[in-house]
Amino acid sequence: MRKRSISIWAVTAGLLSLSMPLFAHHGNSVFDMTKTLSLKGSVTEWDWANPHCLLQFDVKDEGGQTVHWIVETQNPANMVMAGWGKATFKAGEEVTVTLAPAKNGRPFGRIHTVLLPSGKMLDADKGDVPATDVSKSGDYSK
């Protein structure tokens, strides 16, 4: 009986230690959450996948060079509840993305909002927000 308890304990400890790295990547430590960039660019790809949805878009920098940005948001289940979907973005669309940039300066970030060509504002954390409400009050709770 004692041998079986030790075996169960060892297997449980092993499984728990293997699962800990799965929780480590869920955070914003790679992003500079004190900075916000607003970039206008052309959508190249919208990856609707777990564990994070990724929006890829091209932006012309001040020198006229194209910079390929990749920005992430939450998982699809959360994004559906916030009004986003698999067909939210189409390649070639011009969007304005407000994001927290990566600390290392690479073209990678965490999405705050996206302004669609239609004028609809999507909030990555709080759902759909009419663009007029954002410009008037900055209050995303409406």
In tens, the pLDDT along 31-72 reads 999 999 999 999 999 999 999 999 999 999 999 999 999 999
Residue with tokens 């996948």: 49
> Could you tell me which residue, 17 or 122, shows the higher pLDDT?
122
Residue in 120, 110, 58 with CA at minimum distance from that of residue 85: 120
Indicate if the pLDDT at residue 9 is higher than 60: yes
Upper half-sphere CA count for residue 10 (Cβ side, 13 Å): 6
Q: What is the pTM of this model?
A: 0.71
CB 122 within 8 A of CB 133: no
Q: What is the CATH number of domain 37-137?
A: 2.40.50
C-alpha to C-alpha distance for 31 and 41, rounded to whole angstroms: 20
- The span from the CA of 88 to the CA of 82, in Å, is 12
C-alpha span between 70 and 106 (Å, rounded): 10
